Amino acid sequence: MKRRRFLTITAGLAGASALPGAAFAAASPAAEQLSVWRGTAIGSAATIAIAAPDAQAHLDAARAEIARLEQVFSLFDAQSQLSRLNRDGALEAPALELVECLSLAGQIHRVTDGLFDPSVQPLWAAWARAAAEGRQPTAAELTAARNVTGWQRVSVGTDRIALPQGAALTLNGIAQGYIADRVAALMTARGLGDVFIDSGEFRAMGRRAPDREWEATLPGGATATLRDRAMATSSPMGTSFDGKAGHILDPRRGQPAGAVWGSVTVTAGLAAIADGLSTAACLMPDRASIEAACAKLPDASLTQALAA
């Protein structure tokens, strides 16, 4: 079963409602010259809002950019670069975006002491297969998956990316943020300064209006303003394999995150950084550990950590 399809099936309404959102209907779009596109990015709901007149051409360009990047990062498109890498074990002449995203993943892996590890895909697959059969994975299944897990064995170069035999990557903990960053870069190149991108993670550029900041709703109902910042929230039980085992896996043990955090929200200059840090933070034992990891990357900070 494809990962996104599985998550769609198993995501409960309670978990979905706990995740953050951005509301663009609180004020009149016409009065603010706010143009909004809603669609999907790598299987998740996505929104782009542009505070400028005649924004349709820019929204069309952003939508095309998302579609292009899905051909790189999608796990449910068999012809994407990531899918071909996982299937073949190597990828020649990878897209620059894939190399850059994997390089950012390596940085986050280092500052989180290995808790952020895109090579956990075999572990994820073991849990997903077992859940589809109404059980938990056996110790033997987890051992086999752990034996092919390990970021240090992934080779990333501009001309070739290679995996050990049996290994596979998931970028679900960073690719949505990375896509938000790429769309932001495109909008900047097109001369726009006031844009809000929600690809599953948030990237805010400028302001919603001259007298109004962009706002996002945090888990628990609090709101946060964003200007030229990114924000990401991860929730161990936002989706689950069986209603009990959350989808964020500890690469050291092959087990879901413990019952410490209900959700963790991180802000940073880049949405990819916020995305990866918030994912890894769900595996950390306390706020001090999260704050220490954030301090190792430029412009990253813990915004909210809600106990489970």
Q: Is residue 16's pLDDT more than 90?
A: no
pLDDT at 298: 85
The band of 153, judged by pLDDT with boundaries at 50, 70 and 90, is very high
DSSP 87-104: HHSEEES--HHHHHHHHH
Q: Is residue 158's pLDDT more than 70?
A: yes
Question: What CA–CA distance (Å, rounded) separates 238 from 216?
Answer: 18
Q: What is the three-class DSSP state of 24?
A: coil
Which residues, other chains included, contact 195 with Cβ-Cβ below 8 Å and sequence gap of 6+? 48, 49, 50, 51, 184, 187, 204, 205, 206
CATH number of 3-8+33-307: 3.10.520.10
pLDDT at 239: 83
Q: Is residue 296's pLDDT more than 50?
A: yes
Q: What is the mean pLDDT of the chain?
A: 90
Q: Is residue 66's pLDDT more than 50?
A: yes
The count of other CB atoms within 10 Å of the CB of residue 243 is 11
pTM: 0.90
pLDDT at 12: 25
Question: What CA–CA distance (Å, rounded) separates 29 from 35?
Answer: 7
Q: Is residue 6's pLDDT more than 70?
A: no
Type of residue numbered 264: V
Which residues, other chains included, contact 133 with Cβ-Cβ below 8 Å and sequence gap of 6+? none
| Residue boundaries of the structural domains of the chain | 3-8+33-307
pLDDT at 31: 52
Stretch among 11-20, 101-110, 176-185, 197-206 having the lowest mean pLDDT:
11-20
205 is written with which tokens?
Answer: 């550029």
Stretch among 12-26, 82-96, 142-156, 256-270 having the lowest mean pLDDT:
12-26
The count of other CB atoms within 10 Å of the CB of residue 29 is 13
The band of 242, judged by pLDDT with boundaries at 50, 70 and 90, is confident
Q: Which of 32, 46, 65 is nearest to 194 (CA)?
A: 32
Stretch among 175-184, 214-223, 284-293 having the lowest mean pLDDT:
214-223
